[in-house]
Every structure is written in C-alpha cells, then in structure tokens.
C-alpha cells in the first residue's frame, strides 16, 4: 500500500508511532420500523433498560477511576451522566415511541438528530462542540440496544500496547479512560476540534492527537503503520522506512526533553536577562486546580465558569444556583492556597441551550452572547457575581468579563458588580470590597479602542482564539476555512502588540489566555512584544517555562520589532521560527 498523508487539527502535542486500531462507529444508522400498539410499553421498557445499563457503565467507570486521573475525566463522565438523566434523552424518546410507534433505536436517533441540529446553530465554538457529547451518549445507548457494545481493542500478539494508534470517527471521554492506562500511544478522529472534550482530555493526558481528519477512519486500515504528529496535525499512513526513522529519532528526542522539564516545576520563570514572567493556568472546573498546582502555576488566569453550567445548560432548566456556584469558586480558591484565581463570568448566549426557544439569530456568533447575554439576564448575572464575590472572602479572586466592546457595557457591568456588592452587604455576607475587575480583549473593536478599557478596568486579558476569529472573519472549527486561521497574520500581530504595548505604557497588567499563550512556537514572539503574563492549560506550563528560561529579551525585542514591520506571511513565519534559535 502506498504511503499517504492526512492533514487535520493538532490538539495535543508530541509524536506517536504505531499500528492503527480502528474503532467501529456506533450504529447511528439503525433500523426504522413501526411497532404495534400492544408492543409500545415493551419497547419503552427496552429503551429504559438500555439507559439504565449505560448509567451503570458510567458509574462503574467513575468508581474505578485511578486517583491520579486528570480531573477532566471525572468531569466529563459527570457531564455524560447528566445528559443521560436529562428528560430530553431520558423521557422524550419514550414519548416518541408512545406517540409515533417508532422502535426504540429510531426514537432515540430521532431525538439525537433534533438536539444535534439545535447545537449546530450555536454561535459559540466551544458550546457548539458539545453536540459531540450528546452524540457520544446516544451512541453508547444504541450500542446496548443493538447488542454491539464492545470494549476498545486489546493488544494482540507481541505488539506492545503502547504502540497502538486509535483511529475512529469520534471517541467519548469514557472510552478515553483506556488511554490513562497507557494502552494507546495516540489517536486520530474524523471529527472534533480544538475545544472538543476529546481534545481537552488528550491534552490533559498529554497524548499526541490530531482530529478533524474528515474520513481518516475510512482511509486507514486495521494494522496500518501510522505516525501522528500532534504538533502539526499531520497523520502519515504506511510511511517509508526513512520517514519512520526520522520520526522515531524526533520522538526519542522529544521524550528526553520532556522528562527534563519536570525538574523545572519549582524553578522561577525568569528570562536570561532577569525578567520575571508570570505563568498561570486555564481551568474549567475547580478540580482542575490540582493539575495547575502540580505544574507549578502561579495562579489561575482563566476559570471558564460556563463549564459549571454545561452539564445542564443543554437542557435549560437546571442552572447552578448562587450557593452551588459559590462552593465551586470557593473550592478553587482553597486548592490554590493563596494564589490568585481569575474567574471569567458566564461566556454563553441566548443562541444556545440556555434558551433554545430563542434560537432565531441569523448570525449567532455575533449575537446575544457572553456579557451581552448577562446584561440581558440581570438576575442570572447578579447571582453569579454574588457567588464570585463571596468566594473572594476566602482568598485572592479577580473577575474577568468577556466580550466587552462598548463603554456603556463596561459601565453597566461595573454598576451590576456594585449592586451585587450592596446585596451582599445587606445580607451581611463577606467579600473582598477591592476585588479587581478585568476585561477580555477578544473583539477587534475593543483592541482598537483600548483607552476606553484602560481607564475603567484593573487588568486586561487577551482571548486570542476569538480575537483571531473575529479579526480574520473565519470560524476556526469550520473545516472548510480552518486553513485561514492564522495567529501570525499581520493584522493579528498588530492588534496583539498594540494591546501589550498600551498596557505597559499605562501600567495596567495584560495577560494572554488563549491558545497562543501555550504554544511554545510563539512564546518568544510574545515575550518580544512585551508580554509578561501567560495563562494556558496546565500541561503546557513547563514547556513554555523552558522557553522562557532560555530567552533573552534584549535580543528578542529587536527581532520582534522587525517581525511586526513585515507584511509577507512567509517571511513572518520564517522569522518567528528563527526566534527559537536565538
């Protein structure tokens, strides 16, 4: 068989080499037939039994989680259990059986398709990818209904288990638990994006992975030799011997370098010229703080609070209350032991499951989301603000507000924070009266009108993912235009450098909390721009710290200025690569 190469989305760094193990897709193409009236309740009972079986499976997996499992695994199992219990899955398909006389598989697939269509309309990329959770839960139930539920492939013969590459249409977080045991070296999927749960878990486990390969599971055959380049999002199938040897050498070198990085955990992040850099962690749930501490993070730079809503946000009615949110925030503060915790307020919109009835926006990505949604739903916003403020009584907490673009939005937000403070005073509850409030700079208009923010805010945090998306007018999870997503576009670099420079001039702290902060290929460029605060996934902290320790800002600043004056994309890319050799 001739060698061929596939290109997709890199989601977890490193090199994996092994033989392909194909995971059969769940049987979403199920038989469709109508059942007789007298068979309806038996069919309902069959679906209920399947739902109960999957519940038990998830509970068993949860109970057997190793103590050192990444926090994401347990959290995603919780999300799947909540989805399974939600009436949209646990009850609506039963009603379809009773009202339309569909067989159980058909009824379930009908409902999954309906929910998937609703998620397709969501503007927020992260939330839109939650459709995969719905489908993964549905597939698990279908496998029980059709009797096709099987475990992941086991090692065969004398093939070392750690040299298997899983190739699948998609992989659920529950199935990925097998990775934790070192059974596989990497994985490739047809679907998924940077924000899919599969990608997040892969990063947390530090397993090389590439997703969004379209039809890799159809093109790759069982036992094919496969190279996964998790840095480039490239998969090489049946590589020539010379290519295989090159990647093996590179893999060995990377593994050796990674082992050395563990020694840096307690080493201060200081450049060669003596400049101290702050390295923070991005988290989604309080339990993620443990990984942040283990990696030596100086604090939490981005607590994506919307994740607290996600287990139930798909089905609207069960939003976490003030006390529940407070306990989550307080727990994060406690785990971080005096290190700052920056909590981003709800980054969600009306074009999403919190209010599915209003999914009418023609372009929801530009619609009522993030702070726009919060200001339109003041009771939800005030509840969250009170919860965050109460947590600030237990340690250093900052409030980070997403998607601000207008002066009146800033004023209204600050007014509501003051209102939440007054409500707590009236209730006799403690909080940090001087809590810092910052703005995410992720809209080009905000970047270009920065004095408006500097005047009113305590700090700024650049959300590079959305800033790039909005600046270049591309959807970064749309495979059709993914190649246009370029952090090194001159316009993006101009905005980034302008924000960082303005912050330095005015004495207001500026952080980067998007994917760029954790990309070691861009660390020196950001340092050269003047960035002194990075926030990223905990697994990326040590590699970035290593780059910082080997950087000399007096050299980088000069070279970076030249890069910022360039307009040719190829020249910029080459110049950024050369920074790594300085």
- Cβ atoms of residues 155 and 183 within 8 Å: yes
C-alpha to C-alpha distance for 323 and 317, rounded to whole angstroms: 17
Cα 17 to Cα 2, 154, 187, 367, distances in angstroms: 17, 17, 10, 44
Does residue 344 have a known ligand-binding role? yes
Residue entry with tokens 């955990």: 265
Does residue 339 have a known ligand-binding role? no
Residue of 375, 513, 364 whose CA lies nearest to 442? 513
Residue entry with tokens 């360039």: 566
Does residue 304 have a known ligand-binding role? yes
Does residue 524 have a known ligand-binding role? no
Does residue 476 have a known ligand-binding role? yes
Question: Among this protein's residues, is 289 annotated catalytic?
Answer: no
Residues 6+ apart with CB under 8 A from 134: 83, 89, 112, 115, 116, 119, 314
Pick the catalytic residue: 169, 289, 394, 513? 513
Please, what's the largest Cα pairwise distance for the chain?
81
Residues 6+ apart with CB under 8 A from 129: 192, 193, 195, 196, 197, 477
Q: Tokens for 135?
A: 């489908």
**CA angle 337–339–344, rounded 5-degree value:** 115
DSSP per residue, 163-221: GEEEEES---TTTTHHHHTT--SEEEESS--TTSHHHHHHHHHT--EEE--SSHHHHSP
Strand order in the sheet with 186-189: 4-7, 234-237, 225-229, 15-22, 164-168, 186-189, 209-211, 9-12
Does residue 466 have a known ligand-binding role? yes
Residues 6+ apart with CB under 8 A from 23: 152, 153, 166, 167, 168, 169, 171, 175, 217
C-alpha to C-alpha distance for 310 and 38, rounded to whole angstroms: 39
Whats the size of the chain, residue-wise?
582
C-alpha to C-alpha distance for 341 and 397, rounded to whole angstroms: 5
Question: Among this protein's residues, is 479 annotated catalytic?
Answer: no
Residue entry with tokens 């339990």: 287
C-alpha to C-alpha distance for 89 and 83, rounded to whole angstroms: 7
Pick the catalytic residue: 169, 197, 394, 537? 197
| Active-site annotation, residues | 197, 513
Report the binding-site residues for phosphoenolpyruvate: 304, 344, 465-466, 476
Report the binding-site residues: 304, 344, 442, 465-466, 476
Report the binding-site residues for Mg(2+): 442, 466
């Amino acid at each position: 068989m001739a060698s061929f190469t596939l290109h997709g989305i890199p989601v977890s760094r490193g090199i994996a080499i092994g033989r392909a193990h194909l995971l059969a897709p769940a049987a979403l193409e199920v038989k469709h037939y109508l059942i007789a009236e007298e068979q309806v309740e038996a069919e309902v009972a069959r679906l209920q039994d399947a739902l109960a079986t999957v519940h038990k499976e998830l509970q068993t997996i949860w109970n057997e989680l190793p103590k050192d499992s990444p926090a994401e695994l347990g959290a995603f199992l919780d999300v799947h259990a909540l989805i399974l219990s939600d009436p949209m899955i646990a009850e609506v398909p039963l009603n379809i059986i009773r009202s339309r006389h569909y067989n159980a598989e058909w009824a379930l697939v009908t409902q999954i398709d309906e929910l998937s269509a609703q998620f397709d309309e969501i503007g927020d990329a992260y939330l839109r990818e939650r459709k995969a959770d719905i489908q993964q839960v549905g597939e698990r139930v279908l496998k029980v209904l059709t009797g096709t539920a099987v475990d992941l492939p086991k090692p065969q013969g004398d093939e070392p288990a750690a040299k298997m590459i899983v190739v699948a249409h998609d992989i659920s977080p529950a199935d990925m638990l097998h990775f934790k045991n070192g059974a596989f070296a990497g994985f490739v999927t047809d679907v998924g994006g940077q924000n899919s749960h599969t990608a997040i878990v892969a990063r947390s486990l530090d397993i090389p992975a590439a997703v969004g390969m379209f039809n890799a599971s159809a093109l790759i055959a069982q036992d094919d030799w496969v190279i996964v380049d998790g840095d480039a999002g490239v998969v090489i199938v049946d590589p020539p011997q010379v290519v295989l040897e090159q990647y093996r050498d590179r893999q060995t070198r990377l593994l050796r370098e990674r082992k050395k990085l563990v020694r840096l955990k307690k080493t201060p992040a200081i450049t060669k010229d003596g400049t101290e850099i702050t390295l923070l962690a991005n988290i989604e749930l309080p339990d993620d703080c443990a990984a942040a501490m283990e990696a030596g993070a100086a604090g939490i730079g981005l607590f994506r609070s919307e994740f607290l809503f996600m287990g139930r946000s798909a089905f609207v009615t069960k939003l976490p209350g003030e006390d529940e949110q407070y306990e989550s925030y307080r727990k994060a503060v406690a785990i971080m032991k005096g290190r700052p915790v920056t909590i981003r307020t709800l980054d969600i919109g009306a074009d999403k499951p919190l209010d599915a009835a209003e999914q009418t926006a023609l372009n929801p990505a530009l619609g009522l989301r993030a702070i726009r949604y919060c200001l339109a739903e003041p009771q939800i916003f005030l509840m969250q603000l009170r919860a965050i403020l109460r947590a600030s009584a237990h340690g250093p907490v900052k409030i980070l507000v997403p998607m601000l673009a207008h002066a009146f939005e800033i004023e209204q937000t600050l007014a509501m924070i003051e209102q939440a403070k007054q409500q707590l005073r009236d209730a006799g509850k403690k909080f940090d009266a001087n809590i810092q409030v910052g703005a995410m700079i992720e809209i080009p208009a905000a970047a270009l009108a920065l004095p408006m923010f500097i005047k009113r805010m305590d700090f700024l945090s650049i959300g590079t993912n959305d800033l790039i998306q909005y600046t270049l007018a591309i959807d970064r999870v749309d495979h059709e235009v993914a190649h246009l997503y370029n952090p090194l576009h001159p316009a993006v670099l101009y905005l980034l450098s302008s924000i960082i420079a303005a912050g330095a001039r005015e004495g207001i702290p500026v952080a980067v909390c998007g994917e760029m902060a954790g990309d070691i290929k861009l660390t020196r460029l950001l340092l050269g721009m003047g960035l002194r605060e990075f926030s990223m996934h905990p697994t990326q902290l040590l590699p970035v710290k290593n780059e910082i320790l080997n950087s000399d800002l007096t050299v980088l600043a000069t070279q970076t200025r030249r890069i910022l004056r360039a307009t040719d994309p190829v020249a910029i890319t080459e110049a950024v690569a050369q920074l790594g050799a300085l």
